[in-house]
């Protein structure tokens, strides 16, 4: 075996051994009264990406918590890594929260507030790491993941103490990234769908593995914090593999299409935007995806139920705690 590969394997083994058993437990029942959310279109409650109501609204409602939403559609973690023409977590969302906190616009006692972050989909996707365009400072998947996990430390310094980091869902199974994907609103030009599928699979796996290791190291330098990991990847994989346990619409259960799916022309000069399929009414709840990139409202209800359990201090199969 080549020496560099041996060193890498030894390093990974040491890091894996250092990860705690996740026997810790997060907030206790009755403790959390406020939910503060950061992220991208998966979490934005204003520019809603699922055609209905976003998961934070459901989660706060289920748990009887006050919601303070700061997630913005299109967001990357940092504009210094994967710049996009949308607000970023580092440059916009966190500063807005801190400004509201300091000017008294919001009142969120540290012990009574859970902070969540679901970010990364835009950082690893088209026009960023996947295609290698719009990437600054030679940014890599390591840099993007470090940025996301760094959210904990930034808010900790501002007084926050209860954190739930949501990892990436199985991006490779989104309609945008499957081998048999079609031209759509997110990418309507020619592409190698097999290469995209393989690349997004690797990026997703790397992001989630690195994030877990980085989160596991935080308790030593963040005393008094509850730091948790919400396994979006595991939850959505389970929905995809066992849709009947989660989807309850009146149409045949569907894990490959979308509530609002549009097949675009690959000729950019055409004036025809594409042919769209739209599920209506209760049939919408038969789909895990709303469109080629976003979860459906029914999938978001599932996410909301699990995070409501965390807010209420109950166990969730998909939430683990490092401290």
**Residue whose pair of structure tokens reads 């979860």 in the numeric block:** 295
Q: What is the mean pLDDT of residues 133-158?
A: 98
Q: Residue 165 maps to which CATH number?
A: 3.40.50.1110
Task: List, for residues 73-94, the tens digit of each pLDDT value.
Answer: 999 999 999 999 999 999 999 9
Per-residue model confidence (pLDDT) at position 266: 67
Q: How many domains does the chain fold into?
A: 1
Residue 83 counted as domain residue: yes
Q: Give the model's confidence band at 157: pLDDT under 50 very low, under 70 low, under 90 confident, else very high.
A: very high
- How large a percentage of the chain has pLDDT more than 70? 90
Q: Is the pLDDT of residue 10 over 50?
A: no
Per-residue model confidence (pLDDT) at position 21: 44
Task: List, for residues 181-222, the tens digit of each pLDDT value.
Answer: 999 999 999 999 999 999 999 999 999 999 999 999 999 999
Domain that holds residue 92: 28-177+188-237+300-314
Of 189-193, 244-248, 266-270, least confident by mean pLDDT is 266-270
Of 8-17, 194-203, 273-282, least confident by mean pLDDT is 8-17
Cα(65)–Cα(76) distance, integer angstroms:
27
**Token pair belonging to 273:** 């935007």
Residue 74 · residue 87 · CB < 8 Å: yes
**Residue whose pair of structure tokens reads 């990847």 in the numeric block:** 233
Residue 293 counted as domain residue: no
Q: Is the pLDDT of residue 272 over 60?
A: no
Cα(287)–Cα(297) distance, integer angstroms:
9
Per-residue model confidence (pLDDT) at position 5: 39
Task: List, for residues 99-129, the tens digit of each pLDDT value.
Answer: 999 999 999 999 999 999 999 999 999 999 9
Per-residue model confidence (pLDDT) at position 3: 42
Per-residue model confidence (pLDDT) at position 274: 79
Residue 64 · residue 308 · CB < 8 Å: no
- Residue from 45, 248, 256 nearest 170 by CA: 256
- Residue from 97, 61, 58, 89 nearest 73 by CA: 89
Q: What is the mean pLDDT of residues 244-266?
A: 95
Residue 140 counted as domain residue: yes
Per-residue model confidence (pLDDT) at position 23: 61
Residue 135 counted as domain residue: yes
Task: List, for residues 23-70, the tens digit of each pLDDT value.
Answer: 678 999 999 999 999 999 999 999 999 999 999 999 999 999 999 999
Q: How many CA atoms lie within 13 A of 214 on its CB side?
A: 20
Residue 102 counted as domain residue: yes
Going through the chain in order, the beta strands assigned E by DSSP cover 34-39, 66-69, 113-118, 162-166, 226-230, 260-263, 275-278, 319-321
Distance of CA 41 to the CA centre of its chain: 9
Residue 40 counted as domain residue: yes
Residue 101 counted as domain residue: yes
Residue 134 counted as domain residue: yes
Q: For the whole model, what pTM was predicted? A: 0.92
CB contact set of 35 (below 8 Å; sequence gap of 6+): 56, 59, 60, 63, 65, 66, 67, 68, 113, 114, 116, 307, 311
Residue 79 · residue 111 · CB < 8 Å: no
Q: Give the model's confidence band at 268: pLDDT under 50 very low, under 70 low, under 90 confident, else very high.
A: low
Cα(79)–Cα(86) distance, integer angstroms:
9
């Amino acid at each position: 075996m080549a020496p560099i590969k041996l060193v890498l394997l030894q390093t990974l083994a040491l890091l894996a051994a250092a990860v705690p058993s996740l026997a810790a437990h997060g907030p206790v029942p009755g403790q959390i009264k406020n939910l503060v959310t950061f992220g991208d279109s998966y979490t934005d409650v204003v520019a809603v990406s699922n055609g209905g109501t976003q998961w934070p609204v459901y989660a706060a409602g289920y748990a009887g918590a006050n919601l303070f939403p700061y997630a913005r559609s299109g967001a990357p973690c940092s504009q210094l890594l994967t710049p996009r023409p949308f607000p970023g977590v580092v440059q916009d969302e966190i500063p807005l929260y801190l400004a509201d906190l300091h000017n008294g616009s919001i009142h969120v006692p540290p012990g009574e507030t859970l902070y969540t972050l679901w970010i990364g989909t835009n950082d690893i996707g088209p026009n960023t790491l996947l295609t290698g365009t719009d990437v600054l400072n030679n940014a890599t998947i390591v840099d993007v993941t470090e940025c996301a996990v760094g959210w904990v430390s930034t808010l900790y310094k501002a007084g926050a103490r209860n954190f739930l980091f949501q990892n990436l869902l199985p991006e490779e199974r989104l309609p945008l990234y499957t081998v048999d994907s079609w031209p759509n609103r997110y990418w309507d030009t020619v592409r190698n769908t097999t290469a995209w599928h393989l690349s997004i699979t690797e990026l997703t796996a790397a992001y989630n593995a690195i994030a877990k290791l980085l989160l596991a190291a935080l308790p030593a330098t963040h005393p008094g914090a509850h730091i948790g990991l919400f396994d979006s990847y595991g939850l959505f994989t389970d929905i995809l593999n066992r849709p009947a346990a989660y989807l309850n619409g009146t149409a045949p259960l569907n894990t490959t299409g979308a509530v609002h799916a549009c097949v675009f022309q690959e000729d950019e000069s055409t004036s025809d935007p594409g042919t769209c399929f739209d599920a209506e009414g209760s049939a919408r709840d038969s789909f895990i995806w709303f469109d080629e990139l976003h979860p459906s409202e029914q999938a978001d209800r599932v996410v909301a139920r699990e995070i409501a359990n965390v807010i209420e201090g109950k166990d969730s199969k998909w939430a683990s705690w490092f401290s």
